[in-house]
Amino acid sequence: MKQKRWLALFGAALLVLALLVTGCGQSEAPMETETEEETGAEEAPEAASIMIAGSDSEVNLVTRLAEEYMIVNPHVAIAVTGGGSGVGISSLIDGGIDIANSSRPMKEAEEADLKEKQGQDTHAVRFAVDGVAVVVNKDNPVAELTVDQIGAIYRGEIANWSEVGGEDLAITLYGRQSTSGTYVFFMEKVVQADYSPEMRNLAGTSDIVEAVTNDLGGIGYAAIGYATKDGIKAVLVAADEASEAFDPTILENVTSGDYPLTRPLYQFVIGKPSGAILDFLLYEVSEAGQQLVLNEGFYPITNADVDFNKKALQ
């Protein structure tokens, strides 16, 4: 019993000694304060700002991508405005912005102009895939059209819905202004000539959606992210009379290339991107960024787009 009691007392003494030693160590610690370099603490990231302008088709999508990026990277401020692909490209050439949103490729003349003014080459990134939707009023019974029929409508050769299986109702044409990449894409891909002088040129895609919503005879074109708005519907489009018509709001139809009015969405920068600009571009094509692209009604990039991006992002 005495041995057990002694062992207990000895153990208690060791505990007290250990506490005293620990206490002494703590009291001396402030005299040996470690620097941030010694502890390996990282400095706060440097603040950065990115100015983006251009494609009206892309403005809402890129705004959402920027918002989510800034939540994780609060030291980066990103401003996104529209105006059309041509406006964005012109602003980039003049050095007024960091990234140009464009729903069309840059022209050779534009690339040469940028090289002359900025002394660097243009680098391009494809960050989403778009199916350009042909939209009509939700109460219009016409459900599908061929590319040739759409072209004839926009050239003014077909002026009544009864000529394409609809009601006896005059067709009202709505389109974008000439600075729009979608205006250029649609003219080259579908109209293949000048637009009808009767077409009403509107400033933005939202304006087209609103106009067609309020016009039973209206027809317009819009990026796929706008095609499911209330009051309109996207018609199925066939490459020709012998081909099947496809719905652009179905992912597989666009990513497979079956839907005939499919295009990549671009962003252009001056020189090879670096710093915050590179980091934001990488975020857009990351798994998280591409999921957001899908959530916003657009489609993820393809393997061909990934290969295209290597020049700028690797």
Q: pLDDT exceeding 70 applies to what percent of the chain?
A: 87
Domains of the chain: 48-129+265-313 (3.40.190.10), 133-255 (3.40.190.10)
Q: What is the mean pLDDT of residues 15-25?
A: 36
Which pLDDT score is estimated for 42? 62
Q: Give the per-residue pLDDT at 256.
A: 87
Rounded to whole angstroms, the Cα distance separating 54 from 180 reads 9
Question: Which two tokens mark 13?
Answer: 């003494």
Please determine, for residue 312, whether its predicted confidence score (pLDDT) is greater than 90: yes
Mean pLDDT of 202-211: 95
Averaged over 48-65, what is the pLDDT?
97
Note the pLDDT of residue 234: 97
Lowest mean pLDDT among 27-31, 92-96, 134-138, 196-200: 27-31
For residue 242, the model assigns a pLDDT of 96
